[in-house]
A and B are shown apart, each in its own frame.
Chain A
Amino acid sequence: MIQPEERLAAALAALILDPAAPPARHIAVGAASPIPAAACWLVKKQGHPVRLSLLHKRHGNPFTEGSRELFDLTGQGRIDLFFLGGGQIDGQANINLIGTGDWPGQGTRFPGSFGSAFMYFMTPRTILFREEHSPRVLVPQVDNISAPGVSAPGVFRRGTAQALVTGKSLFRFDPATARFTLASAHPGEDAASIRAATGFDYDEPAQVAVTPDPTPEQLALLRGPVCDEMLETYPEFCARVFARKAAA
């Protein structure tokens, strides 16, 4: 039995290793869900030489200059890939971590933008990740822009979203047209169900692929050494997804 989280981790790992994308030598994982962290560990445990800076790990903090070091590293171009989410994400890959309604989130207030208004510009690529795939999250236009999906010519920017991964599907992003294209639907979903659950317009191939299952080797890694690495930081996740409890 493959857990949905395991499939998402494998899908994210495939994006990380995409040979067409800029190389991912140093990945930082911030205030995102544990699934991106699992994907990064999977890539590493598959033997790929990648440096991981996991900002929410109590032990193994890689930074000696405090939390500003992540941003200084990223400013220099030393972080290759970051994950971002959003309370709202729109069809131009704008993300909203501020809230709905008038500024600063007079409808539903979200926690705030964190480092997104910098990281989205300064990493060669970003993977957008949000498990909830619904018209309230994937909107035609975000109410407030924490960080824009694309920038005007002349504005310094190293990269954009590579893809958007949700609990239902995987979209690729094309910065030239500022549009998403449906790349695959997870098992149980199809072109029509994705269209119905998505508030923004996007392109779609004639035949929509199914997001592949993790291989048996990947599943063994996720449930073994990847879980070992994640147990301290994400005990509830590991118990729920990998049925593994931290030692008392």
Chain B
Amino acid sequence: MTTAPPAWPSVEELAARIPDGAMVALPPDNSLPSVALAKALIRRGARGLRLLGVPVSGFATDLLIGAGCVAELQTSAISLGEAGFAPRFTAALKEGRIRVQDATCPAIHTMLQAAEKGVPFMPLRGLIGSDILANRPDWRVIDNPFAESGDPIVLLPALSPDFCLFHAVMADREGNVWLGRRRECATLAHASREALVTVERFFDGNLLEDERTAPGTISATYIGGVALAGRGAQPVALLDEYGFDAGYVAAYARAAKTQEGFDNWLAVELGGSEKAA
């Protein structure tokens, strides 16, 4: 039995903290996205968001783009997995409605790790000769100063998103958040100015006091706010709690082929609440 949970803000209240134009980092469909917060951003009519896929993007990103919330996307890939390409992303790119910055997965991780360490940049192997690098004036190639002879290597600037959003299994009264082994969300929380988290349930205890839960816990130090959202990752899977709803995503992919189909899907999905104008 649990005692009464703390007075957490609602999902809507968390979403209201994210101003238009903010850089918002989202994990992909295999790593605990908060679809609940994405929908709350749509309900509040967010505009001009600069999304970061960590390191790739999925369902929640396509939703936000379709609803007109997004001005920019930096990611290493975007897809709906088995359901194919992300239809609203593709349309927005074609119509020039979003600016896309392509990256490669370890580059996103590395930029966040630099921010986590508080250093201005970190090097990464690979990339040289890729058109990704050619289209990233913010990435530099230097000669490895520790090498005996020429050794070009890419430097990536530290990246601190304004917010990161993810959905975890549980949080305790202190605001510590448990998400198991998906530790890229920990790096993301460390690197972001504020982590806003939805959880399945309240944990009545201290997650950092138990050696078995502590390694999968993100300290409240990094957490800006927690809201309760049952099945808040759905249709995406949440660890061993629930699986990926392939039928739901496939139905979305069919509907979202056109903007009209997307708008109709969204109107039903948001349950009659006022749709983003």
Contacts and interface: CB of A to CB of B under 8 A. Distances in A.
B183 interface: yes
A112 B181 contact: no
Contact of B125 (A69, A118, A152): A118
Interface residues of B, number: 51
Interface string B93-131: 110000010111111010001000000000011111111
Interface stretch (A13-21, A39-47, A101-109): A101-109
B56 interface: yes
A115 B237 contact: no
A193 interface: no
B219 interface: no
A71 B156 CA distance: 15
Contacts of B94: 106, 109
Interface stretch (B70-78, B169-177, B205-213, B263-271): B70-78
Interface residues on A, range: 35 or more
Contact of A111 (B79, B126, B127, B151): B79
- For chain A, what secondary structure do more than half of its interface residues adopt (helix, strand, loop), or is it mixed? loop
Nearest to B103: A113
Contacts of A97: 77
Nearest to B85: A111
B130 A145 contact: yes
Given A97-B77, A111-B77, A147-B130, A66 B31 contact: yes
Contacts of A151: 128-129
Nearest to B106: A71
Nearest to A148: B129
Contact of A66 (B56, B78, B129, B183): B183
Nearest to A59: B240
A75 B77 contact: no
Contacts of B184: 65-68
Nearest to B112: A68
Contact of A103 (B55, B85, B105, B131): B131
A109 B85 contact: yes
A30 to B, nearest CB: 9
A248 interface: no
B230 interface: no
Most chain A CB within 10 A, of B55, B126, B181, B215, is at: B126
B164 interface: no
B186 interface: yes
Given A64-B181, A97-B77, A109-B85, A117 B132 contact: yes
A71 B151 contact: no
Contact of A113 (B31, B102, B243): B102
Given A56-B30, A59-B240, A146-B131, 12 more contacts: A66-B181, A66-B182, A66-B185, A71-B106, A106-B94, A111-B85, A114-B105, A117-B133, A118-B107, A121-B126, A152-B128, A156-B151
Interface of B: 30-31, 55-56, 75-79, 85-86, 89-90, 93-94, 100, 102-107, 109, 113, 124-133, 135, 149-153, 181-187, 215, 237, 240, 243
**3 smallest beta-carbon distances between A and B, as pairs:** A112-B77, A66-B184, A71-B106
